[in-house]
Amino acid sequence: MKPHVGAVGSGLFLQVIHLSISVAGAEQLHKATRLRENLIVYVFPTGGDYVTGGGVWAVYPIVFSISKFCGILHCMVTAMLAVFTISSYCLASFKSAGAPTNIRWGSYPMVGKNDLENYTFCTYCNKPKPPRAHHCRSCKMCVVDMDHHCPFIGNCVGASNHHFFVIFLISVVISCAYAAGMTIYASYQMWPSVDFPNLASSHQSMSYMKILLEIITTVAGSAFFLSARGLVLVYLAFASLSVNAGISVLLCQQLSYIYEGNTYLNHLSSPNAMHGERGLQNIVRFFGCPYLISRVFLRYSNAGKLQDNSGSKLL
């Protein structure tokens, strides 16, 4: 028996409606994700300014009590680190990650012989995609040497802004280390005096665990007598150390991939494959160091390779 034409038509109609709802839902999800990333991008520098200002306010009397020169130097270093961090963040966020050359469909006279060798075709952009390029569904574009899409900068990390992203990570690590050192020093200066009467009377009969527990309990109890400025300093110290630990891990991972001449996405797709020659020359080329520094690093790298080759021949 042949199916009724009306039943077939209604089935196709329901499939079209379901597909339209799925596409609309995906589009709404994409818009919500982009809105969240845009909020992070615009809120992050503002929040960083408030945290920096709070740290300066909390450390200000302690540093200026040492000397006026130390206070002025602290303010200058803090301002320089804040400007450097926010500038590198904005460059990594608002600069294009590196779109490939736009080759319009049918414009074959513009393409030379073997210019599209090892190219693939991107089904999302409907354009040729060069090697080491990946399509980002969040940015809706192909990115050359794409490392990853970072929601905290609301942008992909690619060939054009990768060095700004790494510079931003370096500036965050330096800023957090400086903030942690200053807040720990200021907290130590503002901390109430602590006495350990139980340890002085019975230190011989107490175990090491009890002594440690007594010290922690006494120091934690004295924290209740801290002023508001002291509590802010303690919070900033823990926050700086936590952020520094996380960003340091990310920075080490990025530098290891750069040293290997690789990217994060290429490492995920083929972890055992060699995408380039390892060495310090990759880091020098990545940061665009001056000619003299490049010569020194490359000479050191070549000397190390010659030693390795001679050692392998002797074996």
Mean pLDDT calculated for residue range 59-80: 85
Integer Cα distance of 118 and 195 in angstroms: 72
Which residues lie below 8 Å from residue 12, measured CB to CB, with a gap of 6+?
none
Active site annotation includes 156: no
Neighbours of 294 (CB within 10 A): 16
Measured CA to CA, the distance from residue 88 to residue 110 in angstroms comes to 36
pLDDT confidence of residue 68: 85
Q: What's the residue count for the chain?
A: 315
Phi, psi (5° rounding) for residue 124? -85, -45
| Band (315; pLDDT cuts 50, 70, 90) | very low
pLDDT of 122 above 90: no
Whether 252 has a pLDDT exceeding 80, the answer reads yes
- pLDDT tens, residue by residue, 256-310: 999 888 888 888 877 666 656 777 888 888 887 655 455 555 555 555 554 555 4
8 Å CB contact between 129 and 121: yes
Largest Cα–Cα distance of the chain, in whole Å? 100
Quick one: CA dihedral 73, 79, 83, 85, positive or negative? positive
Token pair 């320089």 is at which residue?
80
pLDDT at 23: 44
Mind listing the pLDDT tens digit for each residue in 141-174? 899 989 999 888 889 999 899 999 999 999 999 9
The pair of structure tokens assigned to 32 is 């919500």
State pTM to two decimals.
Answer: 0.74
Q: State residue 161's pLDDT score.
A: 92
Per-residue pLDDT for 113 more than 90?
no
Q: Is 279 left (phi over 0), alpha (psi -120 to 50) or beta?
A: left
Q: What is the DSSP track for 204-244?
A: TTS-HHHHHHHHHHHHHHHGGG--HHHHHHHHHHHHHHHHH
Catalytic option among 136, 139, 142, 150: 150
pLDDT band at 107 (very low <50, low <70, confident <90, very high): low
Give the strand pairing for 148-150 and 155-157: antiparallel
**Of 116-125, 203-212, 215-224, 271-280, highest mean pLDDT:** 116-125
Residue 254's pLDDT band (cuts 50, 70, 90): very high
Q: 311 pLDDT exceeds 50?
A: no
Lowest mean pLDDT among 86-90, 93-97, 181-185, 197-201: 197-201
* Cα gap 65→68, rounded to integer Å: 7
